[in-house]
Structure 1
Amino acid sequence: MPIRYWVVIIMATFSFSITAQELPDWIFKSENTSEQLTAVGSGPSSSEAKRAAIAEIIAQVSQSMSAENVSILEKTQAGTSQYFKQSVVSNTLSIDVNKVNVSEQFVDKKSGVTYVQATISKRQLIRFLEDELTPIATLSFPAQSPAVDKVLWALKYREANAYGLRIERALAGLGATNGTLKNKLRENLSAVAKVWQRYGVRVIADSSLQSLVGIINQQIPSATETVLWLQLKPAHRTRQSENNHQHKLDLMVELTQPHSPFRVFRQEHITVVGNGTSTQQARNHALEQMRAILDTPIQNWLFEKGSEL
């Protein structure tokens, strides 16, 4: 009996060694060089593995950036408007997928896991990050402007300035910091913080939209000196087919003066369509979708494509 016991242990150990040796060395020994960053990612597919590798590269660049939700730009050239949209989608850095090369790939047939080794040139990454900073570098808080202009600026550019600081930290990690721009971004954010302490934006909406009001209130200043109203004006439409109910919620959002003549500074229409087996279920589904849209920084759903009036 003891002999059989040791035979089983030896065979198990030998089997484990064979399995471990099937994975190539680069999965465990990938290292950066003076010219490029390297990372290994794994996943159920090559695209997921590459995404994980990119997340690891981002984690290397700056520990202040989360590696869990990576925004990947599918276009090689990112315009200003696209940049600002990306900046509010997540708190991570956006890396152009076309700038990341897959140098190695391996599929473990037993587990079905794909491993990818991804590399990106440090020089190319620095150039990309500097291009990302270009539109932010022009932003300057309007310190000498009226209160309304200060609040509008803060609402529109708070996220952009915070994202700019994250990019600057990434550049610092690559040895290409820009101290002047870093100080400017910090000054902008300090001014925004003072706006939040002094001024307020009041949401005006009927009782049916109170769940939306609560979400919006989390991302706007709420000091006692109200300088803007954010008015929510809903329009509801319902229709029914054989086994499906649809509810269309068209929400007009306006930033206005809180007094006559109630000048409108920003305006946006947001439309969602809910589905369900009953009218109430469809209505609730529409409200859920609207909450998901509004549960992002106001810059994303009002200043990204909203009109200036």
Structure 2
Amino acid sequence: YPVAPGKSYIEGVKAYRYVLDIPDVIDLAIVVFPANVCDRALAQCAEKGVKAAIIISAGFREVGPAGVERERKVKDICAEHGIALIGPNCLGVINTDPAVALNASFARKMPAEGRIGFLSQSGALCTAVLDYARDKAIGFSKFVSFGNKAGITEIDLIHYLRADPRTDVILLYLEELRNGRGLIEAARKVTRGPGGKPILAIKSGRTPQGANAAASHTGSLAGQDAICDAVFRQAGIIRVNNMDELFNSAIMLAYQPMPAGNRLAIVTNAGGPGVMATDSAVSVGL
């Protein structure tokens, strides 16, 4: 149901002036209005009884004090009315399950179905990841950009993917750690014990300059990188440094049988690569 004041039809689909004018029950609202009216749109969603919302619009905490106040209003409405919120300032949500086939994002194409769940604080990175995955024929189970995480956070989403039977590996891109203890507790439940699922993470803002860039991007306080390393170690999260490493590891963990032990044989047709492979294997405990 498109909602657009001043429009009667959008792409041939009947549009409504306000969400309150829609005759049916609404499960999910996807908000792409300018940031300064998102709180009014969300208030109408609350009046309509909508219990889930995605705010894709930017212009909140990441732009300074005025944006912080806009985000506070949105959070207050969601808290008062029990609305589960993704965003603001995000790409949106994609679910490739054929029974759902939901693309609640501004991604132009639906990714292939797969066993990898991807969670990202950056929306722009998501578009690059989708292009990368399409070129490499990599599929996803769930693909979520959570942006400023004014409502649902990466911790909530990790708990969700833990219980998702269509997800075998969880990938995570973060620009800040607001709740290190909560992340440790959630990740331990996912990575340890029978049926555990590996979590791979890229944490940006490793340098002071990168931390400053993160603050202007999603309003994040990146924190000291050594603290992040310690949190990841305690949580059982595998930290990687770039996109190639992230997806190479994810593909291996999602689709290859795990080795029974740490005994490794190297077969090579040349001495040099064999020596390099030996050094690499020994350095990681094989």
If each structure's strand is expressed as a fraction of its own residues, which one has the higher value?
A: 1
Give the TM-score normalised by the residue count of structure 2.
0.26
Give the number of the structure whose alpha-carbon radius of gyration is greater.
1
TM-score (norm 1): 0.25
